[in-house]
Amino acid sequence: MLVNSNRKLSQGSLAEVESVAELISNQIRHVPKIGIVCGSGLGGLADVVEDKQIIKYSELEGFAVSTVPGHVGQFVFGLLNKTPVMLMQGRVHVYEGYPLDRIVLPIRVMWKMGIKTLILTNAAGGVNPEFKVGDVMIIKDHLNLPGFCGINPLIGINDDRIGPRFPPMSDAYNREYRDIAKETAKELGFSDFMREGVYSFLTGPTFETVTECRLLRLIGTDATGMSTVPEATVARHCGMEVLAMSLITNCCVMEFDSDQKANHEEVLETGKARSKDIQKLITKIVDKLSPQ
């Protein structure tokens, strides 16, 4: 059952977070150590989780349900290369009409369940002209453009039990984790399609105009998408360490006379084509990040 979008506390209450976390904890066999959010077309990672249990978002009161193709809409619990994990197989977005407190609720539930490491993935459009479809970009920083207009999941009354009123974001993406991701990609022979750069968040659901793409490049964006930043923001707010990666599923159109058009089918196809490599990469990264 969705909550009233007119509620005054946009962050969601700690009591709600604790209630959902307790409900889930009472149903699962493995206490998760690492949380993973699977973006568009990347939900196949759940296929390699062993001894898994599934809890659908629709079974949890207050949880928003995914409405976008490529987002199944369920938690997957189990072992990824012997590490207990909690996967979000699909996420919800601002453009689906949900308030931000619903979008980030799963991240806070992960935090309350004891998860200290969060891996975020997404499908993104390549803004950097050197990027190709199928590249994987490790996010080193982000640009929250909607935040300039007051769209931020931390707006509202702050609960100091969750995190500080003014959390720094200059270290949003853990440097050590990024180095581990690059090292792991090299070990797997993936260096040719690995990148590192800045991700910009836009609400969507429209893909960008030519002028918008040019502006994004001008201000330092390498890839752009419609997710991840709200999740990374609340994760850092409550003290979680974050690694985030974008699969470049299309190249942003930079010329007015171009016949090229972005579409969601291309996003899903690219995700499918690169899914095995992403699975190998994340599985090995999880092994290295796993608490002893």
Q: Which of 40, 122, 128, 246 is catalytic?
A: 40
Known active-site residue 123: yes
Known active-site residue 95: yes
Q: Where are the beta strands (DSSP E) in 57-151?
A: 74-80, 83-89, 117-126, 136-144
Known active-site residue 98: no
Q: Which of 96, 208, 212, 231 is catalytic?
A: 96
Known active-site residue 227: yes
Distances (CA, A) of 204 to 28, 198, 200: 35, 18, 12
Q: Which of 226, 232, 244, 245 is catalytic?
A: 226
Known active-site residue 226: yes
Q: Which of 57, 71, 122, 177 is catalytic?
A: 71
Q: Please give the Cα distance from 77 to 234 (Å, whole number).
A: 21
Instruction: Name the one residue in this structure whose structure tokens are 């968040």.
Output: 201
Q: Please give the Cα distance from 216 to 210 (Å, whole number).
A: 10
Q: Which of 18, 21, 95, 196 is catalytic?
A: 95
Q: Which of 86, 93, 181, 245 is catalytic?
A: 93
Q: Which of 122, 128, 200, 227 is catalytic?
A: 227
Q: Which of 66, 128, 174, 250 is catalytic?
A: 250
Q: Please give the Cα distance from 279 to 85 (Å, whole number).
A: 14
Known active-site residue 40: yes
Q: Please give the Cα distance from 221 to 223 (Å, whole number).
A: 6
Known active-site residue 264: yes
Q: Which of 10, 262, 264, 269 is catalytic?
A: 264
Known active-site residue 142: no
Residue 151 CA neighbour count, 13 Å, CB half? 22
Token pair for residue 114?
Answer: 């004891």
Q: Which of 86, 88, 110, 123 is catalytic?
A: 123
Q: Are 108 and 12 in contact (CB under 8 A)?
A: yes
**H or E segment and range at residue 161:** none
Give catalytic residue positions: 40, 71, 93, 95-96, 123, 226-227, 250, 264
